[in-house]
Structure 1
């Protein structure tokens, strides 16, 4: 069998970006399965959600946003620590960079390794990587919930930690007034999941239960189209849950039978591919996903740090 190109290294074609106005002063930029970003207007400032992979990429997003608002960026919210979400932060000129307590700890523990790993996995997203000044450090962190008063009659923006899931420190941004949620990579809409740093059991159960309990009527996931309307939001959450449950069932079955990691990968691939295989980053993510879950089932509670070298070893073992 011919070896598949490593991760997304062969995915070099630009994706069509779409800026959507979800409500007055609420924006989302999607791009055919590339990481989504968003922004919310306060009375005289902006809150931006996610930073993209490089300052050059972030500036292109901000140019699109400036077609709608000239307000300065006061807050930049990072949903989690992954490089494609954080390393463009310097372009925003934000007064405050917000993340979960665990996200700051993860940046300190493994931020540089993650940077090297993701650059090799997804080179197209790193437009002019030399423009990155270094790791992005939050200036404000929290453990459970943080509320930003948007001023005037714009209500508030609630940042909440729903539990361990895609990483230890994922947070969501919730607009109660509009019933709009930015969910980061805790939920994907018509895009495959990356679970290489995940906690599969809580994510598939209590964490997604917490996300669903907000009752969002529009949801911007980490990748894929904006889910509009309660049925679409519920479908995106359940699609995410089903992906995780299938991984748990198939990997668990092979692990309990004292099989091998490669056998588990084959079983998970066969179970997921008919439904999810056509969606963005499915083949890219699955080796890393199954490897992490196998570690969990073997008693490794926290994810092993991904390095560029470890990435290649796992890919060669499972995707060749």
Structure 2
């Protein structure tokens, strides 16, 4: 049996992008399990949510958006620090780049290593990698909540920190008037979770509880289709929670009986593959997910930095 291609290095097929208008001036671009992005119109400006992996990729998204609005981008909101979400930022010419306080600290601590790691894992997303001018740095950060007045009768856009989850700096963008939530990678809709930098137990409990409490009627997750309607929103949140709970149960059980990391991966894979194995990036993510959870349950509070070398070592051990 041949070894599986490393992470998503073998996934080179283009994905079909779909631009959806969720409400007046509220846009989402989804792409068959690739990272989602969005935008919200203010009275005379735009707020963009997520930046994609490179300026070239971001400019393609902006060209689609310009078919609907020519307002300038005043705010660029970054849900967290991962390279495929932030390194396209220079294309937006935003006046203000917003992220959580913890995200800025993570960029300083591990942004360079993450850049190298993610572009090796997902080369197709790194479209024209040479167009990236350097690390993306927020110009405005916050700890709990930040509100943007959209002007006129458009209401507010609330940026909220719901707790540690996918990383220790994830934020969501909430439109209370339209009841639309951009959840970043705290929620996925029929796409596997990447948890290599996660705080699984907090994410599966208090963080997702805070997301659910918003009672959104439409949700744009980090990957997958837009969830429309309360039932679909709850289903996406519940699926995310279930994925985490199964991982915690399986890895914890192997640790408690004195098993190995490899055994924990095999048990978790067996428990999840029937439900989630057909979803985008499942095989890619799971080795890194289990490695981080193994550390977390062993008492390693903060995720170990992923380098290209560490990526390959974990992959060869668990998926080789």
TM-score range, shorter chain: over 0.9
Distance in 1 (CA, whole Å) between partners of 2:258 and 2:107 is 35
Tell me the TM-score normalized by structure 1: 1.00
Distance in 1 (CA, whole Å) between partners of 2:203 and 2:256 is 21
| Match in the other structure for 1:71 | 71
1:34-53 to structure 2, matched below 5 A, reads 34-53=34-53
- SS at structure 2 position matched to 1:183: strand
Alignment RMSD, CA only? 0.3
1:54-69 to structure 2, matched below 5 A, reads 54-69=54-69
Deviations 1:63-117, CA, capped at 9 Å, x for gaps: 0000000000000000000000000000000000000000000000000000000
1:298-309 to structure 2, matched below 5 A, reads 298-309=298-309
| Match in the other structure for 1:203 | 203
- SS at structure 2 position matched to 1:300: coil
Deviations 1:32-72, CA, capped at 9 Å, x for gaps: 00000000000000000000000000000000000000000
| Match in the other structure for 1:135 | 135
Distance in 1 (CA, whole Å) between partners of 2:64 and 2:145 is 30
CA offset at residue 159 of structure 1? 0.1
| Match in the other structure for 1:173 | 173
| Match in the other structure for 2:214 | 214
- SS at structure 2 position matched to 1:79: coil
1:139-178 to structure 2, matched below 5 A, reads 139-178=139-178
Distance in 1 (CA, whole Å) between partners of 2:5 and 2:306 is 19
Distance in 1 (CA, whole Å) between partners of 2:201 and 2:314 is 22
1:236-251 to structure 2, matched below 5 A, reads 236-251=236-251
Distance in 2 (CA, whole Å) between partners of 1:233 and 1:184 is 14
| Match in the other structure for 2:234 | 234
Distance in 2 (CA, whole Å) between partners of 1:224 and 1:297 is 29
Equivalent pairs, count: 320
Tell me the TM-score normalized by structure 2: 1.00
| Match in the other structure for 1:316 | 316
| Match in the other structure for 2:19 | 19
- SS at structure 1 position matched to 2:141: strand
Distance in 1 (CA, whole Å) between partners of 2:68 and 2:225 is 21
Distance in 1 (CA, whole Å) between partners of 2:301 and 2:92 is 35
Distance in 2 (CA, whole Å) between partners of 1:255 and 1:216 is 37
Deviations 1:104-135, CA, capped at 9 Å, x for gaps: 00000000000000000000001000000000
Distance in 1 (CA, whole Å) between partners of 2:297 and 2:232 is 32
Distance in 2 (CA, whole Å) between partners of 1:299 and 1:210 is 25
Q: Which runs of 5+ in 2 are unaligned?
A: none
Distance in 2 (CA, whole Å) between partners of 1:147 and 1:61 is 25
| Match in the other structure for 1:267 | 267
- SS at structure 2 position matched to 1:146: strand
1:99-110 to structure 2, matched below 5 A, reads 99-110=99-110
Distance in 1 (CA, whole Å) between partners of 2:258 and 2:92 is 50
| Match in the other structure for 2:184 | 184
Distance in 2 (CA, whole Å) between partners of 1:195 and 1:157 is 27
Distance in 2 (CA, whole Å) between partners of 1:257 and 1:74 is 54
CA offset at residue 2 of structure 1? 1.6
Distance in 2 (CA, whole Å) between partners of 1:162 and 1:141 is 15
